Amino acid sequence: MKVDWEKLPANLLDLLLDGVFPRHCLACGRDDQLRDGQVCERCLNSLVSTVPFEKPKQLDSLIIGFAYNDTLRPIIHHYKFHNGTSLANLLASKLADRLKELNLKFEDSVLIPVPDHPARRRERGYNPSELLAKALGEKIGVIHSSKLTVRYRYGHHQSLMTPDKREKLAKDAFQALPPPNSDFRAVIVDDVIRTGATLNQLAKTLKKAGWKRVEGLVLCG
């Protein structure tokens, strides 16, 4: 039988290929002991803490789980740009373990993912920060909400922009609702921090909306 590969749906093709070729770790390419079928234990256990990062001034505190190194880079790339939604659970688990190690608790907090512009959200089909916040919230028992903030501005390929351009784009990019309870802390959740401009602007917007304390919690940077 002649197979027209072009016409096979992507997931069926994946299934067929998995049967013939085992999956490989997204980070190192090996095919042994993959967790969630995507990353090997060796890579997961090799994640390291990051070097100190200058806290964006609007944030009251900033926690970065891991260094954005050669192990995490391909994993995050897959998560953000190749429909890697199933990685959210794995990444949230690693971050939850890290928070436990650091003995950090988030009482009276709401996890707020960095919002995507609606056009970007439609284009990608999901918001990586939102999936991470949801999975993390469920693991550490903290509420999360993606309905408290909106993003108005959006630029393609922000990762390729100069810090100045990112700063400009982030300015006045968001709107936020006030806290449901005045004692609640906002904990902004994101997957990667580069310059901190986005977190800084979102924190500023939340403070203007009445949140007294705004913290940042990022998977890697």
Q: Catalog residues that contact Zn ion under the rule CB under 5 A.
A: 25, 27-28, 40, 43
Dist. CA 48–CA 153, nearest whole Å:
33
Find the shortest distance in angstroms from Cβ 46 to Zn ion.
8
Establish how many alpha carbons lie within 13 A of residue 105's alpha carbon, considering only the half-sphere containing its beta carbon.
2
Closer residue to Zn ion, CB minimum distance, 43 or 62: 43
Shortest Å distance, C-beta 131 to Zn ion? 22
Evaluate the CA torsion angle 86, 151, 134, 66 in order and state its sign: positive
Cα–Cα distance for residue pair 91/85, rounded to 1 Å: 10
CB of 218 to Zn ion, least distance (A): 22
Contact 206, 114 (CB under 8 A): no
Q: Which is nearer to Zn ion, 28 or 177 (CB)?
A: 28
User: Closest distance between Zn ion and the C-beta of residue 32, in Å?
Assistant: 8
